[in-house]
Chains A and B, each alone.
Chain A
Amino acid sequence: DSGVTQTPKHLITATGQRVTLRCSPRSGDLSVYWYQQSLDQGLQFLIHYYNGEERAKGNILERFSAQQFPDLHSELNLSSLELGDSALYFCASSGGGAGGQINEKLFFGSGTQLSVL
């Protein structure tokens, strides 16, 4: 058990809909990362938050957004869903991110499997 919790585990929805994926990082971790895993694109970095602030953006579509709350949990919002958004979405956390000692090890949740029909 990595200590990172993602909910829900599975999500089935229709095109055009909006969904929210939730991630609770390991206790004490300030950084949260979101990744998308699909068969054709592999593991793609979406976005990184540190202590509530956005730190880096990867290949995240404008239809997608994320935030990290004061209790450090994070949500990934996916809107106007398309068939191609079907993928496994991972959240990962780490202790570092803003300077000082950087914790390079990421702890991954078990993912949310999104199916867009």
Chain B
Amino acid sequence: GDSVTQMEGPVTLSEEAFLTINCTYTATGYPSLFWYVQYPGEGLQLLLKATKADDKGSNKGFEATYRKETTSFHLEKGSVQVSDSAVYFCALTLMDTGRRALTFGSGTRLQVQP
């Protein structure tokens, strides 16, 4: 079945450090890929998305590029802030199969220290 694998956390960084959170996927078709973020005590929020190979999603300084050849969608940010501390989820959906429900990875907790 379809699945998403993320690097285990927590990831602990100092403010202004470079962030990479790895995400790879397995899918039977051509998925759309997403990063969602969950701040403490809140529900998930869409951070960025990419719907086809080589697309780059970006938002709030975060970027991720859809790499079909490596089945990856790694999340990056050049300079993290304390306010970026949250849990980040990589996810996919296969719209063309009608399966619109998202399949999530296990989440990666990011802790940014001042």
Contacts and interface: CB of A to CB of B under 8 A. Distances in A.
> Chain A contact residues (Cβ within 8 angstroms of B): what range?
20 to 34
Interface string B76-114: 000000000000010001010011111111110000000
Interface centre among B44, B93, B99 (most CB of A within 10 A): B44
Contacts of B99: 56
Nearest to B93: A104
Contact of A45 (B32, B41, B45, B102): B102
9 contacts: A42-B104, A42-B105, A45-B102, A45-B104, A56-B98, A56-B99, A58-B101, A96-B100, A106-B102
B43 A110 contact: yes
Interface string A44-56: 0100100000011
Contact of A104 (B41, B45, B49, B103): B49
Interface of A: 2, 4, 31, 33, 35, 42-43, 45, 48, 55-56, 58, 90, 92, 94, 96-97, 102, 104-106, 108-111
Interface residues of B, number: 24
B107 A42 contact: yes
Interface of B: 32, 34, 36, 41-46, 49, 51, 89, 93, 95, 98-107
| Residue among B46, B49, B102, B104 having the largest count of chain A Cβ atoms under 10 Å | B102
B45 to A, nearest CB: 7
Contacts of B103: 45
B20 to A, nearest CB: 20
A102 B32 CA distance: 12
A43 B100 contact: no
A48 B43 contact: no
Given A43-B89, A56-B100, A58-B101, A106 B46 contact: yes
